[in-house]
Amino acid sequence: MIKESEYKKRRDSLAKKMPNNSVGVIFSAEPATRSHDTHHPYRQESNFYYLSGFKEDNAVLLFLKTKEVVKTVMFVHKKDRALELWNGERLGAKEAKKSFLVDEVYESSEFKKRLKEFMKGKDTLFCELGSKKREVKKLLKLTKDFKTKHDIIPLVQKMRLFKSAAEIELVKESIAITTKAHHRAMRVNKKDRFEYELQAEIEHEFKINAAYSDAYTSIVACGNSANTLHYIKNDKPLIDGELILIDAGCEHNYYASDITRTIPVNGKFTEAQKELYNLVLETQLRVISMIKPSVKRSHLQESAEMMLTKGMVELGILKGNYKKLVKLQKHKRYYPHGIGHWMGIDVHDPAPYKDKKHREIPLQKGMVLTIEPGIYIDKDDKSVPERYRGIGIRIEDNILVTKDGYENLSSAIAKTVDEVESISTKL
C-alpha cells in the first residue's frame, strides 16, 4: 500500500509547480447515475486519488501558495448517522485530520465560505478547466475576478508518468490476479459455451482475489469478432477450431493491469493460426527487447510495423516490398492501432506523450507501458489467403522501464504456442 507520506510528497511537489499568490483546487469524483435513482459503484477520480488516497465523494483538495507559506487544505463530507445508515460510514473532518498529512481539514459545507478567505490576495487559479463537474462550474463563477486561470490536471498527469516503488508493487499485485484469470480462461472447458460464460470465469477470478472491479470492460472475442478492436458484446458461441482473443485486466487497490492473450477454443492451434500467432509473438518479443531509457515509443511503433508487414508479405497476406508497403500505410488495414500506452491508476494512464514543445518524451526509468502488436484479418477479405481469414490476434504485456532496460511484469502468463496448448483444456 502507499503510505500517507508519499501522498504528502506528491501534494508538496504539485504545490511547488504553482507560482506565488495562487490557489489550486481539485474536486473528488461525483457519483455516477446508472439509471433513475440507482448509481454505479463509486470510484474516486484518479487525479484526486493520486494526490490523497481518499476514496469518498463530496471532497476537495485546496492548495494555497504565497511567498511566505504553502498550505494544503482538505474538505470532506460531514459525519451524519442518518445518511450513514443508508450509504455507509464517513470518515468525517476530525478523523480525516488524524489520517491525512494536510494542514487543515473542514467539512465540505464550509468550502465556499473558506474559499473566499483563502482567495484574498491571490491572483492565479489552478483548477480542472474543461471539467464537467458541477462544482468546477461553481468554482469558476466564484473566481471570475482572478487574472489568470490554468488547468491543474496536466501538472498532475505529468507526475503520474513516473511510478514509485509502492505503485509498481500495486501494479504487480493487479497483474498477479489477472494472471490467475487468464490461466483460468485457458484451463476451463469451452465446449458448448458462450463468450459471456468465459468472461464470467475471468471476472469471477478477479473478485475472489479482492479485485472488485475490472480495469475496463473485458473483451472475449471468438473468431471474426476479434477483428472488432473494442468488441464487448461477448454474446457469441465459442466455436471449435476458432481462436478467442481475450483482453482483460483487473483493477486492484486502484491500480490497473491490461493483458491480452489469444487462445484456441479446443486447446490446439491450427497451422495457419500458429503462423499468424508466431508472427505477432516474435514481433512483440523483439519490440519488448528494445525497451530501455532514452528509446522513443515511435521507434517501437515503427519497428513493430516493419516486422509485421515483412511477415505478412512472407505469408502472402500483403504483396510487394514491405518497406514501401509501410510507407504507403498498407499494413494499417491489418494492424491499425498503436504499439501500446501508459498504464497505472487508469488502464490508459493520461500521462503526456509529448513535452510542452511537442517533442516526444522518450522512455525513462519508472514508466509503465503496454506492448500489444496484433494482426486482424476479416473473414470477408478476399485479398488474403483463405486459411487466414477470420483470424484476429493480439498479444499484450505490461512493461516497466528500468535503469538499464525493462521488466516484463506479466511474464508469468502463458504466451508461447507450447505454453498455451499445455495449459489449455483440449476438447
Is 404 one of the catalytic residues?
Answer: no
Answer whether 51's CB lies under 8 Å from 17's CB: no
Is 258 one of the catalytic residues?
Answer: yes
Query: Would you tell me how many other CB atoms lie within 10 Å of the CB of residue 18?
Result: 20
How far is the CA of 425 from the CAs of 86, 187, 254, 335, in angstroms? 46, 5, 33, 30
Select which of 230, 271, 359, 404 is catalytic: 230
Answer whether 255's CB lies under 8 Å from 171's CB: yes
Select which of 106, 277, 335, 376 is catalytic: 376
Is 247 one of the catalytic residues?
Answer: yes
Is 348 one of the catalytic residues?
Answer: yes
Is 40 one of the catalytic residues?
Answer: no
Select which of 114, 150, 299, 337 is catalytic: 337
Select which of 56, 57, 396, 397 is catalytic: 396
Select which of 57, 128, 167, 247 is catalytic: 247
Amino acid at 221: A
Cα separation of the two ends of the chain = 42
Is 396 one of the catalytic residues?
Answer: yes
Is 372 one of the catalytic residues?
Answer: yes
Select which of 183, 348, 387, 389 is catalytic: 348
Whats the size of the chain, residue-wise?
427
Select which of 37, 68, 271, 404 is catalytic: 37
224-232: Cβ within 8 A, 24+ apart = 224/378, 224/379, 224/390, 224/392, 225/195, 225/392, 226/262, 226/376, 226/391, 226/392, 226/393, 226/394, 227/376, 227/377, 227/378, 227/379, 227/390, 227/392, 229/336, 229/337, 229/376
Nearest to 185 by CA among 416, 413, 417, 418: 413
- In this structure, the strands spanning 104-107 and 70-76 are parallel
Nearest 5°: phi and psi at 317? -80, -40
Burial degree of 235 (CB within 10 A; 0-12, 13-18, 19+): exposed
Select which of 10, 297, 331, 394 is catalytic: 394
Select which of 77, 90, 297, 341 is catalytic: 341
How far is the CA of 136 from the CAs of 37, 156, 159, in angstroms? 23, 17, 22
Is 297 one of the catalytic residues?
Answer: no
Select which of 305, 349, 372, 397 is catalytic: 372
Is 150 one of the catalytic residues?
Answer: no
Select which of 258, 305, 349, 397 is catalytic: 258
The residues carrying an active-site annotation are 37, 230, 247, 258, 337, 341, 348, 372, 376, 394, 396
